[in-house]
């Protein structure tokens, strides 16, 4: 699988990255055997970039990922994790994190936002312990929407110092919103941004961000290419979700129109969804969450197989039409 370099660093990511939020029991439980099977399948098809975070299952994702990669040659894979949420003992656990955090795990821990320099260092230390690694390659500041000033003034400089010391390989920020990322790219020393759900076949609102990153030599990692489920099936059902909620009728109609166009060109909607972000030269890779070996295998095939020019022409034209 093709590897691309992040910014001006020596860190490379495979064109398809393994998003490890499902390993933290996102929404529904996943047993250890299933989790290990998904990671092993990813390795077998050439995926060499794995993204996780303390947020995912209150550390469960990091622990599962680290255990599955423990016997792999360390120089052959890239791991990213995130900072900004410290895990601390829960003073009054309810039994489940599902309602508060969206993960089907016991809520013996809570997430406390901390984007200070000390918080960054503490978070990274905890992640290394859970991963069982002596280093991570990329560290993203995670969703600093309500903490932009301190993220720019403390978290990102702290990570840049670690990068300059050789402790980590690259510095990034991961968010869903485009405007805060534009500010960060303009003001901070970052190598990559991970933008979730905003550079997809259906939602292309990150175009200004891609342009700004290209001007500054910053790489883009496009996460959530299926827009939280809407683009993950050949034809979206009535129950499809978009950006973690029920898909609005107009969005659902547009997605189904894109699905029809894919079928007319001999492919399926999730194929176009995985391939779309990779068309932009500034995009180093696309990261999707996987729960099973079958999901990984399909996505790897789609990532490696382009659509025809005629298919892209029709899909691009449909995506640019005004919403119904």
Catalytic residue annotation: 56
Which is nearest to 62 in space by CA: 1, 161, 142? 142
DSSP string covering 223-253, please?
E-TTGGGTTSSSS--TT-EETTEEPPHHHHH
Q: Which two tokens stand for residue 252?
A: 């659902």
Radius of gyration of the chain (CA): 19
Look at residue 109 and give its three-state secondary structure: strand
For 260-281, the DSSP string reads HHHHHTT--HHHHHHHGGGGST
Residue 229, Cβ neighbours under 10 Å: how many?
17
- Two structure tokens written together for 290: 């996987």
| Angle CA 173–22–292, to nearest 5 | 130
């Amino acid at each position: 699988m093709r590897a691309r370099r992040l910014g001006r660093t020596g860190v490379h990511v495979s064109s398809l990255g393994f998003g490890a939020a499902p390993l933290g029991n996102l929404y529904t439980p996943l047993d250890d055997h299933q989790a290990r099977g998904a990671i092993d399948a990813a390795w077998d098809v050439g995926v060499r970039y794995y993204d996780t975070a303390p947020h995912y299952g209150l550390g469960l994702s990091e622990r599962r990922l680290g255990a599955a990669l423990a016997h792999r040659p360390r120089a052959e894979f890239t791991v990213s994790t995130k900072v900004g949420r410290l895990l601390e003992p829960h003073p009054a656990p309810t039994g489940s994190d599902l309602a508060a955090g969206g993960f089907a795990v016991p809520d013996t821990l809570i997430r406390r936002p901390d984007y200070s320099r000390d918080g960054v260092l503490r978070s990274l230390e905890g992640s290394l312990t859970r991963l069982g690694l002596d280093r991570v390659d990329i560290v993203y500041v995670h969703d600093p929407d309500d903490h932009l000033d301190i993220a720019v003034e403390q978290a990102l400089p702290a990570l840049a110092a670690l990068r300059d010391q050789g402790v980590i390989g690259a510095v990034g920020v991961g968010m869903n919103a485009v405007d805060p990322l534009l500010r960060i790219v303009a003001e901070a020393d970052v190598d990559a941004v991970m933008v979730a759900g905003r550079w997809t076949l259906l939602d292309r609102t990150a175009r200004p961000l891609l342009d700004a990153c290209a001007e500054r030599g910053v790489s883009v990692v496009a996460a959530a290419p299926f827009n939280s489920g809407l683009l993950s099936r050949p034809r979206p059902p009535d129950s499809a979700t978009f950006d973690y909620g029920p898909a609005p009728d107009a969005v659902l109609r547009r997605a189904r129109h894109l699905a029809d166009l894919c079928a007319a060109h001999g492919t399926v909607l999730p194929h176009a969804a995985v391939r779309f972000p990779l068309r932009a030269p500034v995009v180093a890779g696309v990261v999707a969450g996987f729960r099973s070996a079958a999901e990984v295998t399909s996505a790897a095939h789609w990532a490696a197989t382009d659509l025809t020019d005629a298919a892209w022409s029709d899909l691009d034209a449909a995506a640019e039409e005004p919403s119904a």
